[in-house]
Structure 1
Amino acid sequence: MIAPFVVAVTGPPGSGKTTLSRALAERLGGAPVLSYDAYETITGWPPERGAAWLADGAPFDAVPVPGLAEDLARLRRGEPVPDRERGGTLRLARRGARPVIVLDTLLGRAHPGTGTQIDHLVWLDLPLDRALARKLRSFTEEARRDPSAAPGFLAALDAYLGRYDTLLHPTYALQRDRVRPSADQILGAGTLAEHLAAIESTLDSIFHATLTAAPTA
């Protein structure tokens, strides 16, 4: 079996990485999507623990994502893994002759466990103010879909904004400084369709080059 190719999509929260990851997986023949959000536990930390982590230099290798690196490695070996985001099971799919895995992550290559398994890293280069606006919009959209749950979403929004200045914004700035430089492809302003086309074109070139470089029997 040809080794699976891992495409990671990253960017600040609100940049659209999850939407792009899911759309890209569909375009790549139903590729499995592993989502950082389904594994992370840092959002459950009490504020004082988050502040201590940030004061200690915010080491990304200390960000807990239990099971993510292991599940990614298993998929790369061709083994099925549980879909912790949607339920069911994730299995390899192929783009032509090449199996592909999509990793939806905040950490890119800055996290040792998963970073070393990434073949192509896409960074969504959205300014933090626009990313914040999109993130806030996600709260209001959820509240509109289920008005009865609006008080809970309002409390979540209040908690998010309460941490933004002292913890979240500094962390997102560090993410940009540490993750963006190792990106293989940086996408700025553009539509979802334009981003998909740009990634597909790049992957086609990579896969073609890999095939033409492969030794013949």
Structure 2
Amino acid sequence: MSAPFVLAVAGPPGSGKTTLSRALAERLGGAPVLSYDAYEEITGWPPERVAEWLRRGAALDEVPVPGLAEDLARLRRGEPVPDRERGGILRPSRRGGRPVIVLDTLLGRAHPGTGAQIDHLVWLDLPLDVALARKLRSFTGEARQDPAAAPALLGALDAYLGRYDSLLHPTYALQRARIRPGADRILAAGTLAEYLAAILSDLPDALTPRTA
């Protein structure tokens, strides 16, 4: 059997990468989703360390995602890996055809550890103001679901906005400049159904059968 096909989804925070990755995995026969967010450590850096990283040129090989490249390689070999996002075990789908792995990532092909393992990269090309609005709604949505958590979420939102101009926006602009050019498919704002139709039409017929 052929090695699993790695389908990567990238875009700025708030672009809908995770929602799209999960929908693709379902359509592709229950493919495993490997998520950058479950491995990354840069959000734990103090702001001054991020600022220094940006000042030095923001080398993407310095972004710490320990274990991500190794787990992706193991999945490509057909070996199970821990699901660090949801718990349990991830395995390549074997429901006929060529198995698929979905990689939900911020770094695309620009990251030296995982980029060379990607077969097809999709970039969600949302304007940063739209992505920001979606990100803010994630804070307010959590607060609406759990009012008791609202004070903590308000603090997190204030911290996020407080460093947006000086740190986050420059980082997201840099991400777009470096990752977007390496994409095989660039998708402007659209519905989930439109995204799925566009991406699935690009993929080889030999992949795991698509479900309705």
Q: Indicate whether the TM-score tops 0.5.
A: yes
* Match of residue 205 from structure 2: 207
Per the alignment, residue 163 of structure 1 pairs with 163
In 2, are the aligned partners of 1:28 and 1:94 still within 8 Å (CA)? no
CA spacing shift, 1:94–1:185, aligned 2, 3 Å = farther
Q: CA deviation at 1:189?
A: 2.1
The answer on 1:154 being equivalent to 2:116 is no
Q: Distance in 2 between matches of 1:93 and 1:194?
A: 24
Cα–Cα, structure 1 residues 45 and 132, in superposed 2: closer, same or farther, change >3 Å?
Answer: same
Tell me what 2:84 maps to: 84
- Evaluate the alpha carbon distance shift between residue 15 and residue 149 of structure 1 in structure 2; reply closer, same or farther with a 3 A threshold: same
Letter in 2 for 1:52: E
Q: Report whether the alignment pairs 1:124 with 2:145.
A: no
Task: Quote the residue 2:33 is aligned against.
Answer: 33
Deviation at 1:94? 4.0
The answer on whether the counterparts of 1:36 and 1:68 sit within 8 Å (CA) in structure 2 is: yes
Distance in 1 between residues matched to 2:185 and 2:206, nearest whole Å = 17
Give the secondary structure class of the aligned counterpart of 2:186: strand
Question: Percent identity between the aligned chains?
Answer: 83
- Which AA in structure 2 matches 1:67? G
Aligned letter for 1:131? A
TM-score, length basis structure 1: 0.93
Greater shift, 87-96 or 172-181, is seen at 87-96
Are the equivalent residues in 2 in contact too, given 1:54–1:171 (CA < 8 A)? Answer: yes
Q: 1:213: which partner in 2?
A: none
Q: CA deviation at 1:208?
A: 5.2
Q: Would you say the 8 A contact 2:97–2:206 is kept in 1?
A: no
Match of residue 62 from structure 2: 62
Contact kept, 8 Å, 2:8 with 2:103, in 1: the verdict is yes
Check whether the contact 1:32–1:92 (CA below 8 A) recurs between aligned residues: yes
Comparing 158-167 with 92-101, greater Cα deviation is found at 92-101
The match for 2:210 is: none
SS of aligned partner of 2:50: helix
CA RMSD in angstroms comes to: 1.2
- Aligned AA for 1:101? I
Partner of 1:111: 111
Q: Is the 8 A contact 1:10 1:104 kept in 2?
A: yes
Rounded to whole Å, the distance in 2 between the matches of 1:99 and 1:187 is 24
